Amino acid sequence: MSALTKAKGFKKSKSGTYLSIAATAFGAIGVAKRLKKARAEKDTLVLIDATVSAAAIVTGLAILYRELKRLGDDDVLLG
């Protein structure tokens, strides 16, 4: 298996999924700051936007977790 083929399969590997989870969770920090600021300023529109973004992050993490469970032992990079 060539290095290029392995690199293309990285996103579908356990390592790639863990990296995606970390990046998504890191994005939650920015959303949390926006939520806090919107509450302090009582800005309803920004609060709604940040809430929708938070819901998207939770959904994304759930999908990544499901993918991680689905990968199980058939990891692309290990095979």
> If DSSP states are collapsed to H, E and C, what string results for 4-70?
HHHHHCHHHCHHHHHHHHHHHHHHHHHHHHHHHHHHHHCCHHHHHHHHHHHHHHHHHHHHHHHHHHH
> Cα(38)–Cα(62) distance, rounded to whole angstroms?
26
- Spatial neighbors of 74 by CB under 8 A, at least 6 apart, are none
Mean pLDDT calculated for residue range 30-59: 96
Mean pLDDT value across the chain: 84
20-24, 67-71, 72-76, range with the lowest pLDDT: 72-76
**What pTM did the predictor assign?**
0.70
